[in-house]
Amino acid sequence: MALFERIREDIDSVLERDPAARTRLEVLLCYPGLWAVWIHRISHVLWGAKWRLAARLLSQVARFLTDVDIHPGALLGRRLFIDHAMGVVIGETAIVGSDVTLYQGVTLGGTGKGHGKRHPTVCDNVFIGNNANVLGNITVGENSRVGAGSVVLSDVPPNSTVVGVPAHIVYRNGQRVLITDPHDVKDPLSDALIALAVRVEELEERLGGHAQPCEPFTAEEAERTSYREQLDRLREYVSMGEGI
């Protein structure tokens, strides 16, 4: 009976989170993300019983049917929703909490050939947008959101929103997080930004208080104003096609 209760629970969670889902029968028949999760539960039992080859074969069947690759060793919580279910990969040592939502193209992967815990831990109530990559033995805290296309390489605090490549925090506990120090920019171009900021500071110091304020685009604005005046004069003589 518990098995059918879990199935019903999974279907109800999809109805709650996906506005496109209309009936339980539709979810049962048309959501391969759920099929992948259900098949994984069986393969995970086989994996735990040391029937490793059988578990891997069953996971490959699920991959063929659903286009979702979940390693039998991964630990999945309750009510996991994999929406659209195309190209999702969940590694062997990944841990996924309850009420997690994954969109198409999400990868919970590793960063090397090391052994042990090498895949992410995704806590409860986390949302991961499409084509996002969460890589390595890191933790995504509860109630956090990962923006589409982001690459997460370090821990994400609870109640945070991260975006970018590599990902950085833009919201935390409902408050906007602004980056004011170039050293905090985790980007391959960080050194260039830092050098540019230093150069600007040096130029400001050299100019001191002698720099004359200037208004940008002054010439362009004057030209635009003159052009508009010419158009206003032409409107008195040119017909715009009235009556045709």
Helix or strand run (H / E) with residue 218: helix 218-234
Q: Where does CATH 2.160.10.10 sit in the chain?
A: 2-177
Threshold 0.85, pTM exceeds: no
The predicted pLDDT at position 189 comes to: 65
Mean pLDDT across 119-147: 94
For residues 148 and 129, the answer to whether their CB atoms sit within 8 Å is yes
For residues 171 and 177, the answer to whether their CB atoms sit within 8 Å is yes
Kindly state which CATH superfamily the domain 2-177 is placed in.
Hexapeptide repeat proteins (2.160.10.10)
Look at residue 105 and give its three-state secondary structure.
coil
Confidence of residue 165 (pLDDT cuts 50, 70, 90): confident
Give the pair of three-digit tokens for residue 119: 């895949």
Q: Give tens-digit pLDDT for 139-158.
A: 999 999 999 999 999 999 99
**HEC profile of 136-173:** CCCEECCCCEECCCCEECCCECCCEEEECCCCEEEEEC
The predicted pLDDT at position 197 comes to: 77
Residue with tokens 């659903």: 66
**pLDDT at 186 > cutoff 70:** no
Residue with tokens 């992410």: 120
The predicted pLDDT at position 203 comes to: 85
Mean pLDDT across 85-100: 92
Least confident of 6-10, 69-73, 229-233: 229-233
The residues, any chain, with a CB within 8 Å of residue 135's CB and separated by 6 or more, are 107, 109, 110, 111, 120, 151, 152, 153
Nearest to 74 by CA among 57, 51, 54, 97: 97
Least confident of 46-55, 91-100, 120-129, 176-185: 176-185
The predicted pLDDT at position 188 comes to: 66
The predicted pLDDT at position 137 comes to: 92
The predicted pLDDT at position 129 comes to: 93
